[in-house]
Amino acid sequence: MDTPHEMMLTPYMDKTPNSDEYGALTNTDQQPGKRRKKKSIVWEHFTIENVSAGCRRAYCKQCKQSFAYSTGSKVAGTSHLKRHIAKGICAALLRNQDKSHLTPSTPASKGSDPPKRRYRSPNSSYIMFDQDRCCHEFTRMVIMHDYQPHMVENPGFVSFVQNIQPRFNARDFNHFQGDCIGTYLAEKQNVIKLIEGIPGRICLSLDMWTSSKTVAYAVITGHFVDSDWKLHRRILSVVMEPYPDSDTALSHAVSECLSDWNLEGKLFSLTFDHHATESALGNLRPLLAIKNSLILNGQFLVSKCIARTLSSIANDVLTAGSVIVKKIRDCVKNVKLSESNEAKFLELKEQLQVPTERSLCLDDLTQWNTTYFMLIAALELKEVFSCLDNSDPDYKEVPTRDDWMQVETLCTCLKVLFDAASILSTISNPTVITFFHEVWRIHLELARALASEDPFTCSLSQMMQEKINKYWKDCGLILAAAVVMDPRFKMKLVEFSFNKLYAEEAPAYIKIVDDGIHELFHEYVTLPLPLTPTYADEGNGGNNVKSEGLQSESLLSDTGLTDFDVFIMETSSQQMKSELDQYLAESLLPRVQDFDLLGWWKQNKMKYPTLSTMARDILSIPVCTLPPESIFDMEIKEMDPYRSSLRPATVEAIICTRDWIQSEFAEVSDALVKMEY
């Protein structure tokens, strides 16, 4: 039975000739043994007893008070019974509910006029008030929509809440912080269960946020594939670092996360932002080697954020062309900040019939893509700028032909970076497979640009190539391994790409990837695979097969098969190695656009049991530490002053819980969309 706090009484229902006001049937036309079940919710609080022949009364389960119900053919109905409960008349119910938390009742103040009779619409409902439930939902609302927690003490908010529900006891800020921590701990249990159930390893990404108080916050996110082969992303920890520039800050944050979430021995890869120093990484690797068995001698352990790398290169390009960028920016300002100048500019554009739909825009210095948009729009409208000085005597900074050539070079370089970064901003979970192709494409574009006779173009291309080569050196094997795990490409795309990039040196680089994949697979062959519930479910495809169950149980429990287990361990290396070779030798799948890679491995996990485990971990590696809205940031993300003023535990609770709630909503939304199809 529902508790009183959860009771909802519906005061109106359509009447039928054989029903009373709230669905209780009369005795008319009733047949013995076929009495319909009473529908009104008041019968959860009342029982019907026969007092005498033809007379029945309703008794309150709380206070045992009796009420008229039926005498012969006359039925009293349930309205007076509902009022007894909903209006708070029942003394026992009042005691159980702390003097009643029923919304419709309003205690009359001493000496006040008697309450007036209130009329309600047919669709209104009586809802029991629950202080704890309201506080819980309010806390989730503040977290989910990123409101400032101190709003609970704002006079305007307190007055608003009191007018809506006078019984709601608004929390002060200290109590609200406790509610945030409580909500965080409750939601954390769900994430813990999710992570405990994953059959593979987990990958982490770390992004360091600065603050105005000289401390930093390491935001660590977990990336993993669950037992149903669905990719998940959850913020796990927000660790405040008082000395972010120290060489131990990175290792301390990762160590805190691994310990808090019991991830020792489960880490596969760590992706960090571009600003981590080599000395910081030097401290990180030994720490992870102690807490975690290294995969392929640590070659998969640490990778860099591609978005930070692209932003760093874009910043170098814009810095190299800062003089011409400022000149174009001033020209755009001259047009955009004056209504008359803009009208004159548009008139000239129409007269010249310039074939572009782009419009001039001012750039945001914190987002490098906006500067690219400004330059490309100005370049396509250069004819209008060239004619503008004839109609505007005050317009003196006319870009020259050489200036426009430099702008074109800048746009060409930025476009290569922009096209790659745009993938990160439009795809919710970009994979490492995508960026093998993108990095390879950038390599080819820069190689062509280096052959240019223009000194400015050559210098920019050389500068860009140095940084992209550094990223390729650090992350190339990870990107290539992910491509090999795609049955549409395998080693064939690696061979094709490397022949384009390295020409006669390609075989040596191809061999590095091939050897690395085989060595990694051999490590997975020797890894113990305990018969956990997750592995057991995967072994039978997730189906509870009842037939021949006795035979299966006897085989699993037969201790006489110990020698068989030893035989499997001794012979598995050769068998599992042929598993990889068999996969690589099979024909490539057609390159359909909406190919579900994880779904393919789910379907083929019985055919490739070890290889699928390795693929699951590789395909979990994140290429980026940033959310889509921060892909083009020129600066490190900064914790706002308000959050920085909160306790570190509160900051972590708010940021993590908000991410978890949003993930729950997103998964429910995706499930509903799939149901519609």
Q: What is the pLDDT of residues 512-537, one digit of tens each?
A: 999 999 999 998 888 754 333 444 44
Q: What is the pLDDT of residues 431-446, one digit of tens each?
A: 778 888 888 889 888 8
State mean pLDDT over 15-34.
42
The upper half-sphere exposure of residue 534, i.e. CA atoms within 13 Å in the direction of its Cβ, equals: 16
DSSP, residue by residue, 362-414: ---TTBHHHHHHHHHHHHHTHHHHHHHHHH-TT------HHHHHHHHHHHHHH
pLDDT at residue 670 in the model: 58
The answer to whether 304 touches 474, Cβ cutoff 8 Å, is yes
Residue 552: pLDDT band (50, 70, 90) is: very low
Point out the least confidently predicted range of 121-130, 458-467, 638-647: 121-130
Buried b or exposed e, range 303-319, using 16+ CB within 10 angstroms = bbbbbbbbbbbbebbbe
pLDDT at residue 217 in the model: 95
State mean pLDDT over 613-631.
91
pLDDT at residue 432 in the model: 79
Indicate if the pLDDT at residue 310 is higher than 80: yes
Better-scored residue on pLDDT, 529 or 385: 385
Smallest Cα–Cα separation from 464: which of 503, 414, 404?
414
pLDDT at residue 338 in the model: 85
Residue 234: pLDDT band (50, 70, 90) is: very high
Indicate if the pLDDT at residue 567 is higher than 50: yes
Point out the least confidently predicted range of 98-112, 294-308, 357-371: 98-112
Indicate if the pLDDT at residue 251 is higher than 80: yes
Indicate if the pLDDT at residue 50 is higher than 90: no
pLDDT at residue 665 in the model: 78
State mean pLDDT over 52-59.
82
Smallest Cα–Cα separation from 497: which of 472, 470, 523, 530?
472
pLDDT at residue 444 in the model: 87
pLDDT at residue 247 in the model: 86
pLDDT at residue 142 in the model: 87
* Mean pLDDT, the chain, whole residue set: 79
pLDDT at residue 236 in the model: 97
pLDDT at residue 369 in the model: 95
Smallest Cα–Cα separation from 488: which of 433, 441, 429, 443?
433
Indicate if the pLDDT at residue 392 is higher than 50: yes
pLDDT at residue 192 in the model: 95
pLDDT at residue 321 in the model: 94
User: Measured on CA atoms in the order 96, 102, 108, 110, is the torsion positive or negative?
Assistant: positive
Point out the least confidently predicted range of 15-24, 28-37, 383-392, 618-627: 15-24
pLDDT at residue 106 in the model: 41
What percent of the chain is predicted at pLDDT more than 70?
76
The upper half-sphere exposure of residue 415, i.e. CA atoms within 13 Å in the direction of its Cβ, equals: 10
H/E segment holding residue 268: strand 267-272
pLDDT at residue 116 in the model: 45
pLDDT at residue 162 in the model: 82
Residues forming beta bridges with residue 240, ordered by sequence position: 217
The upper half-sphere exposure of residue 2, i.e. CA atoms within 13 Å in the direction of its Cβ, equals: 13
Residue 122: pLDDT band (50, 70, 90) is: very low
Better-scored residue on pLDDT, 174 or 518: 518
H/E segment holding residue 69: strand 66-71
Residue 327: pLDDT band (50, 70, 90) is: very high
Extended beta strands in 119-250, E state: 126-127, 202-209, 216-225, 231-241
pLDDT at residue 74 in the model: 67
Q: Distance between CA atoms of 576 and 583, rounded to whole angstroms?
A: 11
Indicate if the pLDDT at residue 110 is higher than 50: no
Residues forming beta bridges with residue 202, ordered by sequence position: 267
Q: Which tokens hold the place of 386?
A: 């060239």
Q: How far apart are the first and last CA of the chain?
A: 37
Amino acid type, 67: F
Residue 459: pLDDT band (50, 70, 90) is: very high
pLDDT at residue 39 in the model: 61
pLDDT at residue 559 in the model: 53
Lateral strand order in the sheet of 74-75: 46-52, 55-60, 66-71, 74-75
Smallest Cα–Cα separation from 146: which of 656, 665, 671?
656
Point out the least confidently predicted range of 70-79, 336-345, 645-654: 70-79
Torsion, CA 32, CA 36, CA 41, CA 42, rounded to 10: -20
Indicate if the pLDDT at residue 561 is higher than 60: yes
Point out the least confidently predicted range of 493-507, 528-542, 554-568: 528-542
pLDDT at residue 157 in the model: 82
H/E segment holding residue 68: strand 66-71
pLDDT at residue 289 in the model: 77
Pairing of strands 66-71, 74-75: antiparallel
pLDDT at residue 546 in the model: 38
Indicate if the pLDDT at residue 14 is higher than 50: no
Q: Distance between CA atoms of 607 and 187, rounded to whole angstroms?
A: 37
Residue 570: pLDDT band (50, 70, 90) is: low
Residue 633: pLDDT band (50, 70, 90) is: very high
| Distance set, CA 436 to CA 106, 440, 480, 486, 623 (Å) | 67, 6, 6, 12, 10
State mean pLDDT over 590-602.
90
| 3-class DSSP state of 115 | coil
Point out the least confidently predicted range of 14-18, 177-181, 595-599: 14-18
State mean pLDDT over 77-85.
75
Point out the least confidently predicted range of 27-36, 122-131, 146-155, 540-549: 540-549
pLDDT at residue 105 in the model: 40
pLDDT at residue 540 in the model: 45
